Structure 1
C-alpha cells in the first residue's frame, strides 16, 4: 500500500508531461498521473503525442475515460505497452463533455458497467487497475452509492480506489463549482476504508498541505493532492521527508530548476514553446522576495515565440535565495 501513500491528482489541461517532469524533480515517490485521456482519442489519435512520457516520470499512471469494456481493455493494453505503471479509470469527472460521452462521474449511476470495465482491463494487462470516483452524484445517498460502486469494482479486481470526498452534481453545478461547492465528507471515505480493510483507499479533495495529508493517513492508505500541487508546487519539496522519511531530491526550488534545464532545452530543440513548460512554474516560489517579479518576467517574456531558457534563468535571478523545504509542509 506504500505505493499509493501520496500522489498528485490528474487534472484536465494541466498534468502534461512537462508538469510531471517538474513534479518528479521535487519528489521521488509521489505517484504521478496523466490528465484523463478518452478511449476514442487513444484509439484514433496520435498515440505518441498523447501517451509519450519521459522515463524520469515513473511511477506514472495513465488515467482513462470511457465506458466500453472492450475499448478500455484495448487502451489499457496500449498504456501498458507504452510503459505506464498503472491504469486508472475516471468515474469522477463532472464536466458536461464527459457526461455527454457517458464517462466520468455519471458512471457512478452504473456500478455494474464500471465493474465490467474494470474486469475487462484486468484481463488485458498485468499492471494494477484502479478507479477514481466521487462519494456519489446528484440525489444518490453516499452511504449506499459509494459502497455499491466500491464493492462492485473490488469484486471485479480493482487494485485500489481513489475517492474525491465530495458529491458531483451533474445537474445544477458547473465543473468548476463541482470542485468547491459540494461539501467535503472525509468521514464517509474513512468509513469506506473501515469496511474494506484489505483494499487500498486513497482520499482526495480539498487537501491543502502535507500536514493535512498526514492527518488523513491515520484513517486511509493514501492521500492525493490536487490543486495545491499546481498552485503551490513548492509544497512537494517536503513530500519525501514528511511522508516517506527520505531526503528530497533537491533542497530548493532553484536547484529543481537547474536540474530541469537540460529537459527544457531538449524540448525547445524539438519545437516546444517555452510557455508550455513555464506555465507550470507560476507558483514555484512562496513567501520569497522576488516571487512576484519572477512571475511577471515569465508572463511577459515566456510567451514570446523565440523565448529560450535564458528567459527562465533571468526570472529565477529575480528571486532571493532561500531554502523552501523548511516551509513546504
Structure 2
C-alpha cells in the first residue's frame, strides 16, 4: 500500500482529542510502569513511550521494548532513527503491537542520539525527515507524527521552523509537537538543553497562525494545568508536559480530565489502591517492587507526609523481596501525618 505525497491521512479523532494534553517521552522515566500509573490519574491524556530506537527493534530484535498494558491507551510510540526503511519497519512493528500513533524524534540533543544521526540533529536534514516520515506513513495505517525543536545551533528559528513544518505538511504529516527551545548540539548537555536555551512560545503561536490546518502542540517549560488551558485558549491544539508531570504527577494529571470536561481523579490514596493489583501482578511475574514505585515518589509532592512517603519507598522498596506491604506502609504514614 503506497500513499501519495499529496494524500493526507486522516487523523484519528480519538488521538487528536487526547493530544490536548500529553506527557512527553522521557528516557528512563516514561516506561510502561510509569505510564500505567499516569493513566490511573487521567483517562484522556495522551501518553508516550520512552524513545525506542529503530535499530534496537529491527536489528536487535528488542521487541520487549514495545510491551505495554492495554489500559495505557491512548498511547504513542516514539521512534528514533534516520534510515527511512528501518524506521518504516520499526513503525510497522509498533502498529502491529497496537500503538495508536507513531512519533519520530527530531528533538533529543544527547550525544548518544547525535552519533546515530537522529534526534535534534535531524533539524539540519529536513529532507531526511521528510523521507523518513513518508516511508513510515507508507508502512502503517496509524498516524505518524513528529516532535521537534524550533532549531539547532546557529539556525534561525524564524526561517527554519516554518520551512520544516511546510515540508511535513506537504507530505501529509498533520500533527507536530514543537519544543519551543533551540537545541545546542555542541556545548550544552542534554540537561542544560532543557533549561538554558530561551523559550520562544510566540514563535510556536505564530506557526499555528501560519499553518492553521496542522495540529500543533507546544512543549517546554510548561508545568501547570492553568498554563495548559492558557495555551489552548491561545489557539494551540495541544500541550505536552514533561518533567512536571513526572515529579508532580498529581498536580498535572490528577485534574487533567477537566480539560475534556470530565471529572478529575478522586484522590491520591485511590491511585495507590489502583496500583496494588498491577504491582502484585508485576512481582508475581518476577519483577521488583522498586521498578514501579520509583515512578510514584512524587505522588504526594507538596502534601503533608510527602517526605515520609518518599523515604519509605526509597529505602524499603529496593530489596529483592520487597512486596506491596511497603506501599501500604508508606500510604498509612502519609495518612497519619495528614490527619
Aligned residues: 321
Residues 215-254 of structure 1 aligned to structure 2 (within 5 Å): 215-219=230-234, 220-235=236-251, 236-241=253-258, 243-248=259-264, 250-254=265-269
Map of 2:164 onto structure 1: 149
Distance in 2 of aligned mates of 1:238 and 1:293 = 24
Map of 1:196 onto structure 2: 211
Distance in 2 of aligned mates of 1:166 and 1:247 = 33
Map of 1:131 onto structure 2: 146
Distance in 1 of aligned mates of 2:88 and 2:64 = 20
Map of 1:326 onto structure 2: none
Residue segments in structure 2 that go unaligned for 5+ positions in a row = 1-15
Question: Is residue 303 of structure 2 the alignment partner of residue 305 of structure 1?
Answer: no
Kept in 1: contact 2:305–2:337 (CA 8 A): no
Question: Is residue 177 of structure 2 the alignment partner of residue 177 of structure 1?
Answer: no
| 4+ residue segments displaced more than 6 Å | none
Distance in 2 of aligned mates of 1:152 and 1:98 = 23
- Deviation, structure 1 residue 287: 2.8
- TM-score under structure 1 normalisation? 0.95
Map of 2:6 onto structure 1: none
Q: Note the alpha carbon deviations across 1:248-273, whole angstroms, 9 max, x for none.
A: 2x301110110111110000111111
Distance in 1 of aligned mates of 2:337 and 2:77 = 35
Residue segments in structure 1 that go unaligned for 5+ positions in a row = 324-329
Residues 46-195 of structure 1 aligned to structure 2 (within 5 Å): 46-195=61-210
Q: Note the alpha carbon deviations across 1:45-93, whole angstroms, 9 max, x for none.
A: 3544210110000000000000011001111011000000000000000
- TM-score under structure 2 normalisation? 0.93
Where 1:132 maps in the other structure, the secondary structure is strand
Question: Is residue 32 of structure 2 the alignment partner of residue 24 of structure 1?
Answer: no
Where 1:37 maps in the other structure, the secondary structure is strand
Aligned-residue CA RMSD (Å):
1.3
Map of 1:327 onto structure 2: none
Q: Note the alpha carbon deviations across 1:306-329, whole angstroms, 9 max, x for none.
A: 100000110011112899xxxxxx
Where 1:12 maps in the other structure, the secondary structure is coil
Distance in 1 of aligned mates of 2:61 and 2:300 = 35
Distance in 2 of aligned mates of 1:162 and 1:322 = 41
- Deviation, structure 1 residue 291: 1.1
